Chains A and B, each alone.
Chain A
């Protein structure tokens, strides 16, 4: 973790567009360590796209890339996602 690390709040707009819901209060379960955490609290790294990592074990939980019109989403590291009621 270094000063380039952002958090889930930084991708709130993109996630809201993809999932059609406010996602920073959704709770995700890391498939690697089983920790449950709000999406707003995950670690986010910005490069060509965004890489989201578990704040407990730092495993990758999601990768998001957009090219301006399409979106490509890899959620292999996420076991479950619970959206608030």
Chain B
């Protein structure tokens, strides 16, 4: 869409690097002309144009911490999606696409949260939360932060090695694997249900960010409120199959 008012416009982005994160998830590092910088948790809209002029737009969270040279998006393949199959299977370094953003101010890292921060991720909902964890680490921010991350299996865990490296200095990561667990698995092996949240997410957390598929976000946010978390201190971001 042509910018109606000219304050937010489509920019050209060139794919600089493609990294495989899991069998269905890739990270695209983009060089973006005149990138104004972003805040952790913000996202961008990507627009692809087919040879016949057909256009498709989708919104993707930014995975990289603010301040880097490149903008990184981590994209999960949605089998019957319009945009993600191209981004995860076809996109190569040197390819160009259009990008609008950064956008969003609601689901963004607060450098002064007033107490410990809880991050709850379902599947690729970890992406904007990873931007927050990376910013926290890059800033040397001491705010105690816990990531509770639900994946189907160990091979579906995005950023597994980096999360391990980031642990410590007040950042802890709790994994739960809902479908299959490797031998000797010491993490949780169940859905993020009210009992699990009661154990790991007491209302002492001052601010919570929850991102994942819509049913996951609804269940977690409802359970957090029941545990005594202040509803206005629970920030949510949902994505669904139509996001693909």
Contact = CB atoms under 8 A, between A and B. Distances in A.
B3 interface: yes
Contacts of A69: 1-2
A6 interface: yes
B242 A7 contact: no
Contact of B236 (A2, A7, A20, A84): A7
B5 interface: yes
B237 interface: yes
Contacts of A71: 1, 4
B1 A17 contact: yes
A6 B239 contact: yes
B7 A20 contact: yes
Contacts of A17: 1, 3-5, 7-8, 100
B159 to A, nearest CB: 21
B240 interface: yes
Interface residues of B, number: 32
A59 interface: no
Which residue, of A6, A13, A46, has the highest number of chain B Cβ atoms within 10 A?
A13
Main secondary structure on A side of the interface with B: mixed
B59 A68 contact: no
Interface string A1-21: 111111111101110111010
Given A7-B236, A69-B2, 4 more contacts: A6-B214, A6-B240, A16-B103, A18-B4
A64 to B, nearest CB: 11
Contacts of A46: 242
A66 interface: yes
How large, as a class, is the contact surface on chain A?
Answer: 20 to 34
Interface string B1-31: 1111101100000000000000000000000
B242 A4 contact: yes
B213 interface: yes
A39 interface: yes
A6 B3 CA distance: 24
Interface in B223-244: 235-243
A24 B104 contact: yes
A77 interface: no
B236 A12 contact: no
Contact of B106 (A1, A2, A40): A40
A13 B8 contact: yes
Contact of B105 (A1, A22, A66, A68): A22
A39 B105 CA distance: 10
18 contacts: A1-B214, A9-B59, A10-B238, A12-B104, A12-B105, A13-B8, A13-B59, A24-B103, A24-B106, A40-B105, A40-B235, A41-B106, A41-B236, A46-B242, A68-B1, A68-B55, A71-B1, A84-B105
